[in-house]
Amino acid sequence: MAGKLLLLFAICRLIVIVGLTLNPTVTDLFRVGIHGKLSVDPHDIKSASMDFGKTTRNEPTAVLHPATADDVAKLVKLAYQSSHGFSVSARGHGHSINGQSQTANGVVIQMSRSGRSPAVPEVCEKKMYVDVWGGELWIDVLKSTLEYGLAPKSWTDYLYLSVGGTLSNAGISGQAFNHGPQISNVHEMDVVTGKGQLLTCSNDKYPELFHSVLGGLGQFGIVTRARIALEPSPQRVRWIRVLYSNFSAFTHDQEYLISLHNKPQSEKFDYIEGFVIVDEGLINNWRSSFFSPKNPVKISSLGAGGNVLYCLEITKNYYDSSNPESIDQEVEGLLKKLNFIPASVFTTDLPYVDFLDRVHKAELKLRSKGLWEVPHPWLNLFVPKSRIPDFDKGVFKGILGNKTSGPILIYPMNKNKWDEKSSVVTPDEDVFYLVALLRSALDNGEETLTLKHLSEENRKILKFCKESNIRVKQYLPHYTTQEEWMEHYGDKWQQIYRKKMEFDPRHILATGQRVFEPRFGSEVRSW
């Protein structure tokens, strides 16, 4: 009974939003429209109103759990054709930081779910690709391709993210220097545009839609299927960490290692990342469980004297058929060329799947201590290579001092592995760094760990970059005005604007990104 009342209430709200008296398509939706479930369950509404960042909250009117891509198309078409319009936001796993997958007063399409996705992954062994539902989590993509001894080539550090969610940004990890981001490893997609058309696009079919959607922050369409490139899956990984106290030695080695991207596999590493070690607390180093308990590292014991240390993280993948001695030789040969602190080599060896799923273990540890469900004022920046020393001086050793509140990742990537035609913007240099400040705000009485303090620090970092003319680009960007978005996109803005007008002329999609204001009746606010 309560459920029926809630549904009635939601219909009434939708009537107000879309102007049912003028446009009968809402009743059509309820009567014949969709095969999935349109929910107003408070639990669904609550979870669609929040995200991993836990700093922004917007309540949708309803949540659609689609059963097919057609459900997605029907809902978007309804929003597009209704006289007043309403916003529609795809939500993958809601791991955004600033409300990017939320929408106020519109409908959230919950693309991922805990049970089975509308379509199960289909692997084509011969052509080495997998077709997956847009809401599929990468962990499930991995599980299904491993059954065929195959795996995607390019990853994110954490696998409980949806395919559509990471392809809307870029999807990066330590393989990006070699294979490019995840968006460089997609052959084809099915996309529902902001007009409600379901189109198959690729380099050859609707290429403009294809490139717009990749890195497009959900602005041009909703990905319902993606065809992802695969490779034979390695079985094991040699995982190595070495430490530096000298920043320029650290970045010199990282840049050298990524410059080997065109070499045969035996002459390069498979994954290159790095991080800044400021102190040894759990919240700062939750990604670094690797050092302990078998392999404890005491920063003080390395003579860094309370200063910042830098850790290079590299892996070598191998197969059951590989000769272990030759792996040792390849690793040693590469390590010999690097200038890390002698005796700071930490090595472990583990199954490939465990390596890819490493952050999930850290998540479980943090969850058990109540440190996962906290606000996350993350800041992710692409920093041009030529200015990374200035960034180190001004931010790691300056603004942050010896205090942080979460891991700080830093690793370089080769721009030539990024397709200029995609919607992502990166710095204008051949090599640029990801700097990811993955902060957790805590309410434990320490002022420097509060949300207010960390958010203020983020503002200071952005201000410092601007004043020092370090032309950073935000990754997983967050802006609140269109002027800021225009600056972010720079020369690409005109293109982005034109494509928005073509593929989502009423600005229905992904309003939580706040790139374009919705074009609805004046009484409807959707941001």
Which residues touch 80 (CB under 8 Å, ≥6 apart)?
A: 194, 195, 196, 506, 508
* 89 touching ligand FAD, by CB under 6 A: yes
**Region 338-377 residues binding ligand FAD, contact defined as CB under 6 A:** none
Q: How far is the CB of 218 from ligand FAD (least distance, A)?
A: 3
Instruction: Choose among 174, 39, 180, 169: nearest CA to 97.
Output: 169
Distance CA 184, CA 417 (A): 7
Give Cα 475 distance to the centre of its chain: 9
Write phi, then psi, for 364 (nearest 5 degrees).
-60, -40
Pick the closer one to ligand FAD by CB: 170 or 451. Answer: 170
Which among 273, 313, 357, 457 is annotated as catalytic?
273
Q: Cis omega (within 30 of 0) on the bond before 232?
A: no
Return the bridge partners of 230, or none: 152
**Region 165-204 residues binding ligand FAD, contact defined as CB under 6 A:** 165-166, 168-173
**Measured CA angle at 271 (ends 270, 272), to 5 deg:** 130
* 156 touching ligand FAD, by CB under 6 A: yes
* 405 touching ligand FAD, by CB under 6 A: no
Please give the torsion angle defined by the CA atoms of residues 331, 335, 340 and 344, in that order, rounded to the nearest 10 degrees: 40
# residues near ligand FAD by CB under 6 A: 37
Is residue 261 annotated as a catalytic residue, yes or no? Answer: no
Pick the closer one to ligand FAD by CB: 218 or 427. Answer: 218
With CB under 6 A as the contact rule, the residue among 19, 36, 60, 92 that binds ligand FAD is 92
Pick the closer one to ligand FAD by CB: 161 or 327. Answer: 161
* 217 touching ligand FAD, by CB under 6 A: yes
Q: How far is the CB of 337 from ligand FAD (least distance, A)?
A: 27
Write phi, then psi, for 64 (nearest 5 degrees).
-100, 130
State the number of CA atoms in the 13 A half-sphere of 379 facing the CB. Answer: 22
CB 314 within 8 Å of CB 269: yes
Pick the closer one to ligand FAD by CB: 145 or 380. Answer: 380
* 94 touching ligand FAD, by CB under 6 A: yes
CB 127 within 8 Å of CB 256: no
Which residues touch 40 (CB under 8 Å, ≥6 apart)?
A: 6, 7, 9, 10, 61, 62, 63
* 383 touching ligand FAD, by CB under 6 A: no
With CB under 6 A as the contact rule, the residue among 80, 158, 239, 352 that binds ligand FAD is 158
Q: How far is the CB of 66 from ligand FAD (least distance, A)?
A: 10
Instruction: Choose among 197, 199, 100, 219: nearest CA to 500.
Output: 219
Instruction: Choose among 130, 166, 219, 88: nearest CA to 498.
Output: 219
Pick the closer one to ligand FAD by CB: 161 or 379. Answer: 161
Q: How far is the CB of 182 from ligand FAD (least distance, A)?
A: 7
Q: How far is the CB of 376 from ligand FAD (least distance, A)?
A: 7
* 433 touching ligand FAD, by CB under 6 A: no
Distance CA 144, CA 249 (A): 41
Which among 65, 71, 93, 95 is annotated as catalytic?
95
* 96 touching ligand FAD, by CB under 6 A: yes
Is residue 95 annotated as a catalytic residue, yes or no? Answer: yes
* 406 touching ligand FAD, by CB under 6 A: no
Q: Which residues of 165-183 are buried (b: 16+ CB within 10 A; e: fewer)?
A: bbbbbbbbbbbbbbbbbbb
Pick the closer one to ligand FAD by CB: 125 or 517. Answer: 517
Distance CA 30, CA 12 (A): 13
* 510 touching ligand FAD, by CB under 6 A: yes
With CB under 6 A as the contact rule, the residue among 69, 223, 229, 278 that binds ligand FAD is 223
Q: How far is the CB of 246 from ligand FAD (least distance, A)?
A: 26
Which among 51, 131, 136, 157 is annotated as catalytic?
157
Stretch that binds ligand FAD, among 144-152, 154-162, 336-344, 449-457 (CB under 6 A): 154-162
Pick the closer one to ligand FAD by CB: 242 or 424. Answer: 424
* 408 touching ligand FAD, by CB under 6 A: no
Q: How far is the CB of 209 from ligand FAD (least distance, A)?
A: 12
Stretch that binds ligand FAD, among 79-87, 201-209, 505-513, 519-527 (CB under 6 A): 505-513
Stretch that binds ligand FAD, among 56-64, 204-212, 217-225, 415-423 (CB under 6 A): 217-225
* Angle of the 482-489 helix axis to the 493-503 helix axis, nearest 10: 120
Instruction: Give the H/E segment covering residue 501.
Output: helix 493-503
CB atoms within 10 A of CB 234: 21
Instruction: Give the H/E segment covering residue 314.
Output: strand 309-318
Interface residues toward ligand FAD, by CB under 6 A: 51-52, 89-96, 100-101, 111, 134-135, 156-158, 161-162, 164-166, 168-173, 217-218, 222-223, 476, 510, 512-513
> What residues are labeled active site?
95, 157, 273
